[in-house]
Every structure is written in C-alpha cells, then in structure tokens.
Amino acid sequence: MQNNPIWNQLHQKAKQADIKNLEQLWQNPERHQSLTFEFEDLYLDLSKNWIDSEAKNLLCQLAEHANLKDAIEDMFNEQIVNTTDQLPATHTTLRDPHHKNYQSNIQAIFDLADLVSSGTIKTAFGKPVTQLVNIGIGGSYLGPRLVVEALTELQSESHIPVFFAASVDDSLINQLFKSIDIEQCLFCISSKSFSTVETLMNARAVEKKLKQIAGYLPNESQSSLMAITANKNRALEAGIPASMILPFDESIGGRFSLWSTIGFPIVLAAGKEKFKELLGGAYLMDVHYRKQPFNQNIPVLMALMTIWYRNFIGLDAYGCLPYDARLRSLPKWLQQLMMESAGKMHNIKGEVISYPTTPWVFGDHGQLSQHAFFQAFHQGVDALPLDFIGVLEKDSNSQDFLLFNLIAQGAALMQGKEEDHSMKGCPGNKPSTTLLLKSMSAKSIGQLLAMYEHMIYSLAVIWNINCFDQPGVELGKAIARDIQEHVENNTLNEMALDPSTMALIKKVTEQ
C-alpha cells in the first residue's frame, strides 16, 4: 500500500498546515456547495472536515486505484468476496425486488408473522402469542433492536411487543421474566450457526423456566420456541419444530443480516409494510452506491473520510452521535459493523499489513453525550471525526431543540471561543460531519443502514482486507470453553495459562 504513489501523495497532503485549518479552508467561497451531498432522504455535510478539493480528488483516485468499482460489482453480482470462507456476500439480494431471493425471503418471514399475529400459532401453553423475546447476540441482536426501536412508534397492523435477551447474565434474564407474560410469549432463538455459546445458554435458561410452569406441553402444533438460523439441522436437533424454523443462507454475514429472516422481530413489531419500506430504502442506496461516481457517492465518500483521518491525519477514534432517542442503538450497531468487519491485521492474501485499519468506534445519544464526554471534544487537546446525525421532523418544539443542539455543537467545535486569560476559552478548529434524515421512516432508516454497510465494504476493498469474516472473535470464546471444561473436570492445572489468569480463575471457583 505504501508503494502506491497516490497513498504517498495523500501523506504529503496531510502534512500541509492549511489542511488542518478550518478557518483557512473556509476562504474558498465554493466550499459548502462542493462538500454537501443529497440523495433521497439523506443530506450529508462534509464541509466542517479537515479536507479540501485536492485531498478529496486524491482520495477518489485512491478508490479507483483499489478497483473499488469492480469490487462493488463483484459483490452485487454474487462473486466470491468473502475470501476466507469462499462465499459471496448476498445481503443486498434480499432487498432487490428484481432478485429471486427478495420474494422468497419476505414470503418466509411474512407467512410465519401472519400465523403468529392472527393467533393461529399457539404457545406451548395453548395460548395466542402476544409478545416476542429475541434471544441472540451480535448481528442477531444489534440490527433488529436498532430498527425495532426506530420504528415501533409507527403503528402497524401487526404490532407485537418485542424484547431482547443478549447477554449471559442471570440478573438480566430474571428481570426479563418479570417483564413478560411467559405463557403468551414466543422465544425466538436467533443464531446463524446455532452454536453461539451465549445464545444457547440463554435459550436453555428459558426452556428450563418454561418446563417449571404447569401446562407446558410443546408439540408440533404449539411451541413457545422458534429459531432463525443458517444451520437448520442444529435447530431441529435442539427440538425446534420444523414449522417454527426460519432459515437464511450461509452467504449472509451475521452483522449484515437484519434484512434476512433475522429481521422477523422487526416485522412483528412494526409490520409487513414497514419492513418492505425498510428494504426499499436500502435498495435505493444500493443503486446509488453502484451508479454514482465516487466524488458524488455518499457511502464511498464516508469511507474515504474515514481513511483520510485514520491513515493520513492519524486519528484513531470515530464518534457516532445520533440526536434522536429512536436511533440510540445506532452507535452500538455501527461499532460492531465497523470494528468486527475492519479490525484486521491481515490482507486478503493472509499477509500481515503495516497500516492501521478500523478506528475505535464509540457514541451515544447526542444530547446525553453533551453532558458526558463533549467537554473533551471542545477543550481536550485531541481531535477526532464525529458523525452528528439528526432527523428533520417538525412534530414538536423539543425535536427542533434537539436539532438546534446538533447544529450548535458542530458550529462550536469548528468556531471555538476566544477568552483572554481564561480557562473558558475553546480553541475550535475541530472537525465533524453532519448527516440529516428527512424523516424517521422505514425508508430513511433503510438508506442510512445500507449507507454504513457500503461504507464498510468500501473501506475493506481499499484496505485490501476481508470485511465478512471475524476470526479474532472466536479466540476468547475458545479459551472460555476450555477453562469451563477443565474446571468441571478438575484438570485446571493442565492448562498452559499465565499466573494472573490462573489466579483469577481460582478467585471465581473458590467463591
């Protein structure tokens, strides 16, 4: 990568003093117009960033040099892009109304949703389903929860409350049992592999609780358990009736899977029409991503800004700050999407790379963050790229107040405030991006999430890494399984562990 002449030109560009001087950059009268972009329900303003037209053009050339255009087409044409597992990445086919996968996917989801919402499907207590608990973690949890929270205020024809159980934590599971009507609850075990330890432990805890209740009589015609998985056989072996299993394909990555049958909780919570609108919004972004030139392509530009700050300016964190409570789970979803996809030290050939990839992603509801960590943004010596995300709705004065806060924070970070001989001064010249949605609709949410997905894929192509695998995730889990097995067999001393780890295990087991 370092031998790439464009890479070297960008390094030289980043060393220029003026590129980090927003006051100087704003001397260009065309700056705002050249760095704002609008597509359908999204409005993107990059003008408060440490970038100028020369840097932007060089970054677009970098994307061209990486053959990003061909790589985009490879993904949409179902070529092998997950080189580790030798699989395509087919999540975009699920939102393409012209693709056969689109209809088969929504038909499977909608058929089961209709049976649940109509009362045809009964729980193992012979009662209609009035609640759903989604048992899953990672991509089987973060995406559906984000969308459910964003859309559940939009009433629909099949509004069923949805709860989420992700962490293996007895206190959380017990709290959940107190919050639901367990006899009228359908428990959805969502796991691509149907071997995720945390998910299966929670599923067993739920099944144990169900068996303790009088009247629990599961059979083929009534069940309190269902499964969403790419491994149907394991779900069947676990005793889930075939009629209560929603499969999806192995080629759909877990953190890209909310568009698949993993989105079943979204349909129950927000309705079939809202789910179709969600897919429709994502499809609009898919078309934009494929067709627009890089200098007008919103996902590509978002990726290039990340590369600019991470690899050339040298900033190693990235903030996602939605100014709307309905998007409160967006930072966590993006954190997994970016850090699990792009947190790699090997290129697609398996060679160790010498340049950093993913930044450290964090964030929270914007207004709450103002009273938590914005002090460090305004007066800390560091700077980092921030995404301010707002929703343009005129339903109430409080919504306007949220947006005024969003706008003010971006302005304050850039402008700062001079105070002679005072600790109240803020230096300003801090970069940020503003992204506005025209409304909180299923269509706009689909566009937003697909935009971030394509941003991640663009990053991976330019960094020459595979964004569809996650080998590092398994290491800690494997060690945890080994520890538990050796503890149960009283063979802990046979493990080759450091003294600190051994002492910590003994602290746990001696309680």
pLDDT in tens, 9-29: 999 999 999 999 999 999 999
State the Rg of the chain over Cα: 24
Note whether 369 and 441 are same-domain residues. yes
Return the pLDDT at 31. 97
Overall average pLDDT of the 369-374 stretch: 85
Tokens 């207004």 belong to residue:
367
Note whether 257 and 321 are same-domain residues. no
pLDDT at 303 over 70: yes
Does 202 reside within a domain?
yes
Note whether 170 and 52 are same-domain residues. no
What pLDDT, in 10s, does the model give residues 334-347? 999 999 999 999 99
pLDDT band at residue 507 using 50, 70 and 90 as cut-offs: confident
Percent of the chain with pLDDT over 70: 97
Domain total in the chain: 3
Which CATH number is 167's domain given? 3.40.50.10490
pLDDT band at residue 478 using 50, 70 and 90 as cut-offs: confident
Catalytic residue flag (residue 477)? yes
pLDDT at 92 over 80: yes
What the block records as the tokens of 305 is 């800004």
Does 156 reside within a domain?
yes
Does 470 reside within a domain?
no
Catalytic residue flag (residue 494)? no
pLDDT at 245 over 70: yes
Note whether 505 and 436 are same-domain residues. no
Overall average pLDDT of the 412-419 stretch: 86
Task: Give the integer Cα–Cα distance in Å for 254 and 236.
Answer: 20
Tokens 């001079």 belong to residue:
418
Note whether 367 and 456 are same-domain residues. yes
Note whether 386 and 450 are same-domain residues. yes
pLDDT at 226 over 80: yes
For 477, other C-beta atoms within 10 Å of its C-beta total 12
Return the pLDDT at 369. 85
Note whether 335 and 192 are same-domain residues. no
Q: What is the mean pLDDT of the chain?
A: 92
Percent of the chain with pLDDT over 90: 75
Note whether 311 and 349 are same-domain residues. yes
Does 186 reside within a domain?
yes
Return the pLDDT at 159. 80
What pLDDT, in 10s, does the model give residues 114-154? 999 999 999 999 999 999 999 999 999 999 999 999 998 65
Lowest mean pLDDT among 96-105, 148-157, 494-503: 148-157
Does 444 reside within a domain?
yes
Note whether 320 and 270 are same-domain residues. no
Return the pLDDT at 343. 96
Secondary structure string (H, E, C) spanning 281-340: HHHHHHHHHHHCCHHHCHHHHHHHHHHHHHHHHCCCEEEEEECCHHHCCHHHHHHHHHHH
pLDDT band at residue 483 using 50, 70 and 90 as cut-offs: confident
What pLDDT, in 10s, does the model give residues 48-82? 999 999 999 999 999 999 999 999 999 999 999 99
Does 10 reside within a domain?
no
Overall average pLDDT of the 68-97 stretch: 97
Question: How would you classify residue 278: left for phi > 0, otherwise alpha for psi between -120 and 50, otherwise beta?
Answer: alpha
Catalytic residue flag (residue 288)? no
Query: Of 509 and 299, which is predicted with more confidence?
Result: 299
Q: Which of the residues 65, 211, 417, 477 is marked catalytic? A: 477
Return the pLDDT at 454. 98
Overall average pLDDT of the 483-501 stretch: 86
Return the pLDDT at 421. 58
Overall average pLDDT of the 252-269 stretch: 96
Return the pLDDT at 198. 84
Note whether 441 and 363 are same-domain residues. yes
Q: Which of the residues 198, 277, 340, 453 is marked catalytic? A: 340
Note whether 229 and 361 are same-domain residues. no
Q: Which of 72, 6, 12 is nearest to 460 (CA)?
A: 72
Measured over the CA atoms of residue 285, residue 287, residue 290 and residue 292, the dihedral's sign is: negative
Task: Give the integer Cα–Cα distance in Å for 303 and 256.
Answer: 17
Note whether 370 and 254 are same-domain residues. no
Residue-number span of the structural domain to which 492 is assigned? 477-509
Mapped onto helix, strand or coil, the DSSP state of residue 99 is: coil
Boundary-marking domain end, from 274, 306, 327 = 274
Overall average pLDDT of the 87-115 stretch: 97
pLDDT band at residue 308 using 50, 70 and 90 as cut-offs: very high
Q: Which of the residues 98, 208, 349, 371 is marked catalytic? A: 371
Does 126 reside within a domain?
yes
pLDDT at 499 over 70: yes
What pLDDT, in 10s, does the model give residues 444-459? 999 999 999 999 999 9
Does 483 reside within a domain?
yes
